[in-house]
């Protein structure tokens, strides 16, 4: 049995925060405004995994009103999520994702981001795709006010 999950996450960019993408800190003059570390890529992948198995959303499992989730490392969110997936007897077939960000250009980071995601999940890099896009200077992303990530996951029953 196969299950597909899709999710997207967007965060405002603000000074005084680290820009976290795929578990890595990216050199930038701003970062994601969020209750956790704000890693939009790991949030989108985590929520796509939850969605594939109808397990709710990140807010259900990691509520922003809890002190324990304040500045939470998004790798922890991803690790707890993949444990839920595996506990239900599923494994990842593949992940396809995109990061939409005007600046900084993240193409030089993509190989390391891809490896970080795969390593966190304990899967081969070949099962993870991470692409970079801009928003062609349109909207909040185009004005460098936000960063967005989208992810699709395919799971199969072991």
Q: For 82-122, write each residue's pLDDT tens digit.
A: 999 999 999 999 999 999 999 999 999 999 999 999 999 99
Is the pLDDT assigned to residue 21 strictly greater than 80? yes
- State residue 41's pLDDT score: 98
- State residue 91's pLDDT score: 98
Q: How many CB atoms lie within 10 A of CB 52?
A: 21
Question: What DSSP designation does 71 have?
Answer: T
Nearest C-alpha neighbor of 154 from the set 59, 76, 45, 43: 45
Structure tokens at 133: 């896009």
Nearest C-alpha neighbor of 120 from the set 37, 46, 14: 46
Structure tokens at 14: 């603000």
Is the pLDDT assigned to residue 11 strictly greater than 90? yes
- Tokens 């999710």 belong to residue: 7
Give the 3-state secondary structure of residue 48: helix
* Vertex 109: Cα angle to 135 and 11 (nearest 5): 45
Where residue 35 falls among pLDDT bands split at 50, 70, 90? confident
Task: Output Rg (C-alpha) for the chain, integer angstroms.
Answer: 15
Q: Where are the beta strands (DSSP E) in 2-145?
A: 2-14, 19-21, 24-26, 31-32, 90-100, 128-133
């Amino acid at each position: 049995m196969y299950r597909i999950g899709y999710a997207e996450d967007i965060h405002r960019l603000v000074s005084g925060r680290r820009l976290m993408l795929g578990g890595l800190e990216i050199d930038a003059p701003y970062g994601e405004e969020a209750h956790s570390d704000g890693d939009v890529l790991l949030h989108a992948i985590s929520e796509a995994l939850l969605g594939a198995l109808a397990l709710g959303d990140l807010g259900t499992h990691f509520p922003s009103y809890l002190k324990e989730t304040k500045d939470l490392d998004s790798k922890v969110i991803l690790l707890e999520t993949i444990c839920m997936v595996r506990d239900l007897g599923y494994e990842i077939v593949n992940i396809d994702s995109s990061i939409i960000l005007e600046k900084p250009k993240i193409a030089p980071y993509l190989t390391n981001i891809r490896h970080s995601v795969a390593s966190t999940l304990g899967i081969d890099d070949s099962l993870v795709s991470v692409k970079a896009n801009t928003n062609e200077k349109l909207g909040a992303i185009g004005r460098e006010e936000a960063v967005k990530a989208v992810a699709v996951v395919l799971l199969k029953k072991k």
